[in-house]
Amino acid sequence: MRVAVKLFAAARDLTGHGEVEIELPPGADVAELRQALAAQLPPLAPLAARSLVAVNAEYASDSTPVAEGDELALIPPVSGG
């Protein structure tokens, strides 16, 4: 399945895109999404390894399943305030 992933801050600058499409096996989880992002976008790999993933605007754990149509976002370490 193909899913769209929002990218922010350095993740966006590293890839030049605010959103990327990634190919995932059906039934993939967040850990596989992070691995696929790193594999399909190598410049993103080091930051992706220490980023969280949000599924439908909620922080997700590595075992959270990803479905086609979910709103997905890579959340690099935050620095608001």
Encoded tokens for 59: 């922080």
Identify which of residues 9 and 67 has a Cβ nearer to other proteins in the complex.
Answer: 9
> Per CB under 8 A, does 59 bind other proteins?
yes
Beta-carbon count within 10 A of 50 CB: 9
Residues sharing a CB contact under 8 Å with residue 70, sequence separation 6 or more, in sequence order: 3, 55, 56
Residue window 12-51: x/- pattern of binding to other proteins, with contact defined by CB under 8 A: -x-----------------x--x------------x-xxx
4 lies in the site for other proteins, by CB under 8 A = no
Question: What is the dihedral angle through the alpha carbons of 51, 54, 57, 60, rounded to the nearest 10 degrees?
Answer: -120
Q: Site residues (CB under 8 A) for other proteins?
A: 6, 8-10, 13, 31, 34, 47, 49-52, 54, 57-62, 73, 75-81
